[in-house]
Amino acid sequence: MDKVTNNICFFNSCKAWGGGEKWHYDIAVRLLNKNYNITLVTNKKSELFYKAVKSNIPTISIKVSNFSFLNPFKILKISRLFKNHLINTVILNLPSDLKAAGMAAKIAGVNNIIYRRGSAIPVKNSFLNRFLFKKIITEVIVNSNETKNTLNAKNPNMIEAKKIKLVYNGIDLKKYDKTTSKIYTKSNNEIILGSAGRLSKQKAQNYLIDIAKKLKSKNINFKLLIAGDGELNNELRTYAKKLKVENEVVFLGFVENIKSFMNSIDVFLLTSLWEGFGYVIVEAMACNKPTVAFNVSSNPEIIADNETGFLIDDFNIDEFTSKIELLINDNELREKFGNKAREIVEKRFEIENTVKQIEQILY
């Protein structure tokens, strides 16, 4: 059956704002501007709802939990929503959205039921997942080869390879480049290191504090800016005091304008244990910043080792620190890596390229 793309629904019930929500918002806005009929369904208390309404995206509020698929009234409500809006394509976000809205879309006769997966975590080989991936989903959009590889990690037959479409996250360089402000002003010729992300076990900012301790012991003049908030906020601040680097490590909290953060730093650091797609790396690269990160998950798909930054094997903190020192002491190398990083972003990660790929999938 030929795909019909007249009426597209982005279904994302997550209350928090993260990579998946940014992706749904960015693509919805751009498709709307291309005269697609867009409907966005999300939680009324979410940042996504606020941004969508502000951008004049037709938006509907609905709550979905992990067990909503067991509620026939909820399924019928969502199904009627799809029918009333003549939805031909639905693009889902959370596993809970997939279970509830995916089944509702099937009941409503939606032609294209697309699951956008941004987490490089293996899909459980459960009966429900086998049913969803074989009988409900028509295609899966993944944000990296690493995410793609994890789909069938627990079951090689979970979903057909031809149904999996790789689309890297994109960045709007025209909009991004407009910001020239800085969130922090350096003093006394210090080098500014920066990291941004949710303060969580996955992001492993404790490694950053360990690195700060090592750099301080070498009498290196630096500041480490950490942007983000999360459940480990107090724990990380306490750890910084314990290692006596509270003056070198600056916790900024949530930063609304990430470009102003990137404008303030010299080297970007990422200590995540895994990433579906390290969008924040792309943001740093777009700002001509070299990156040092662990050689895990999708990081090698973004960072060109020894060309735009360094990839560190085996969570080796000593090697991580050594590469930072190399960049701190070599301004020409920082500039060379940064310029190459920007070049790669322009070729591979510009938002318009992402939109074109999505349109190809829709057609």
Q: What is the pLDDT of residues 273-324, one digit of tens each?
A: 999 899 999 999 999 999 999 999 999 999 999 999 999 999 999 999 999 9
Q: DSSP letter for 90, please.
A: E
CB count within 10 Å of CB 136 equals: 17
Answer yes or no: are the C-beta atoms of 351 and 30 closer than 8 Å.
Answer: yes
Number of domains in the chain: 2
Asked if 219 and 76 sit in the same domain, the reply is no
The three-class DSSP label of residue 182 is: coil
Sequence-separated (6 or more) residues with CB below 8 Å from residue 148: 142, 164, 166
pLDDT value for 1: 38
pLDDT value for 120: 87
Per-residue pLDDT, averaged over 67-78, amounts to 97
Residue with tokens 């939805």: 87
Q: What is the pLDDT of residues 154-210, one digit of tens each?
A: 999 999 999 999 999 999 999 999 999 999 999 989 999 999 999 999 999 999 999
Asked if 157 and 192 sit in the same domain, the reply is no
Is 362 inside a domain boundary? no
CA distance 144 to 142: 6
Is 361 inside a domain boundary? no
Alpha helix positions (H), 64-133 = 72-84, 95-108, 127-131
Asked if 62 and 134 sit in the same domain, the reply is yes
Asked if 193 and 332 sit in the same domain, the reply is yes
User: What does pLDDT average to over the chain?
Assistant: 95
Asked if 274 and 127 sit in the same domain, the reply is no
The three-class DSSP label of residue 34 is: coil
Asked if 179 and 319 sit in the same domain, the reply is yes
Q: Helix crossing, 351-362 with 19-33: angle to 10°?
A: 80
Domain encompassing residue 207: 175-348
Looking at 144, 166, 188, the residue that finishes a domain is 166
Answer yes or no: are the C-beta atoms of 127 and 97 closer than 8 Å.
Answer: no
CB count within 10 Å of CB 252 equals: 16
Per-residue pLDDT, averaged over 228-249, amounts to 97
Give the pLDDT band of residue 4 (cuts 50, 70, 90): very low
Looking at 114, 149, 166, the residue that finishes a domain is 166
Q: What is the pLDDT of residues 94-129, one digit of tens each?
A: 999 999 999 999 999 999 999 999 988 899 999 999
Is 12 inside a domain boundary? yes
Q: Look up the CATH number of the domain holding residue 61.
A: 3.40.50.2000
Is 359 inside a domain boundary? no
Is 354 inside a domain boundary? no
Asked if 146 and 250 sit in the same domain, the reply is no
Share of the chain above pLDDT 90, in %: 94
Start-to-end C-alpha separation, the chain = 11
Share of the chain above pLDDT 70, in %: 99
Statement: residue 5 has pLDDT above 80: no
The amino acid at residue 319 is E
Strands (E), the chain: 7-12, 37-42, 59-61, 89-92, 112-117, 139-142, 164-166, 191-196, 222-227, 249-253, 267-270, 291-294, 309-312
pTM for this one?
0.88
Asked if 230 and 302 sit in the same domain, the reply is yes
Looking at 123, 149, 166, the residue that finishes a domain is 166
Is 63 inside a domain boundary? yes
Answer yes or no: are the C-beta atoms of 282 and 299 closer than 8 Å.
Answer: no
